[in-house]
Amino acid sequence: MPSTPVLRFHDGRSIPQLGFGVWQVAPEQTADVVSRALEAGYRHIDTARGYNNEHGVGRALAASGLDRDEVFVTSKVPNQDQGREATLASFDATMADLGLEELDLYLIHWPAPERGLALETWRTLVELQAAGRIRSIGVSNFRIEDLEMLERETGVLPVLNQIELHPYFGQAELRAFHADMGIRTESWSPLGQGGGELEDPVITRIAESHGASAAQVVLAWNLALGNIVIPKSVTPERIVANLASRELSLSAQEVEAITALDKGPEGRRGGNPAGFSGHQGR
């Protein structure tokens, strides 16, 4: 079986570039779906306290027979658990549900600017990492100003920023900032949530010419840009097919044509980090 490329972080650790996301996988379905993903060959699972399904991820990991170090696991502190004490308690609950001693990657889920707790939460992640409970620490949905604040106040940069990113919302400016800072870009909703991109004629034409699906082309584009991707599916054939995108190589012209589909802010499908601080569980 081909293997997934691995990308190195600035902290010396590394991550499989293609993983499996579980937002909106029902709690009672999660163990089966994640088991299927692990059987298909995924070795990187992206969950969050807010997804209410960490327990199912933990059950699948335990049942897999895989060694701890063979699977990379990410979770996230929800907005309502920001701040030192709440984050420590939230982390313990996450680890109990996942059944793990040490987490590969822990993220602040959203900057939630009006709460004003992102910095304190970041310091708590630094503390948990120093205590050996987390291997790498990162953030999600952080804007340039949020990343600059972390660097200014703590001198510790996240290994990655997990952000909404798909062909209609390409995030060129934030990606360039990450590249300058040595922060990896991780794409959430890398398939655009199975929306318009998968019917876009530019993408379907490229897919036809490779004998691939539009979803595989969109994932291969993301991989070609150097992004980490975490597509979600509960459909057995899609779980397998999405992983096979790691074998699809696009030409520079094809990558450029897909990048040119960017719609700027109009392409956004999820919450805007400037204002989003709700409990929607993303």
Ligand X SMILES: NC(=O)c1ccc[n+]([C@@H]2O[C@H](COP(=O)([O-])OP(=O)(O)OC[C@H]3O[C@@H](n4cnc5c(N)ncnc54)[C@H](OP(=O)(O)O)[C@@H]3O)[C@@H](O)[C@H]2O)c1
End-to-end, the C-alpha distance of the chain in Å comes to 32
Strand order across the beta sheet in which 20-21 lies: 20-21, 44-46, 72-77, 103-108, 134-140, 160-164, 184-188, 228-229
Say whether 42 is catalytic: no
What's the token pair of residue 75?
A: 């979770």
Alpha helices in the chain (DSSP H): 27-40, 54-64, 84-98, 118-130, 144-154, 172-181, 201-210, 214-224, 236-243, 252-259
Using CB under 6 A as the criterion, which residues of the chain lie in contact with ligand X when the complex forms?
21-23, 46, 109, 140-141, 162, 188-194, 198, 213, 215, 230-235, 238, 241-242, 270, 282
Would you say 124 or 140 has its CB closer to ligand X? 140
B/e letters for 82-113, b = 16+ CB within 10 Å, e = fewer, are: bbeebbbebbeebbebbebeebbbbbbbbbbb
All residues at 6 or more sequence positions from 272 whose CB lies less than 8 Å from its CB, including other chains: none
Phi/psi at 280 (5° precision):
-75, -5
Nearest distance from C-beta of residue 69 to ligand X, angstroms: 21
Alpha-carbon distance of 45 to 261, in angstroms, equals 29
Amino acid at 94: T
Neighbours of 162 (CB within 10 A): 27
Q: What whole-number distance in Å separates Cα of residue 203 and Cα of residue 26? A: 30
For ligand X, the closer of residues 95 and 198 by Cβ is: 198
Q: How far is the CB of 85 from ligand X (least distance, A)?
A: 23
Catalytic residues: 51
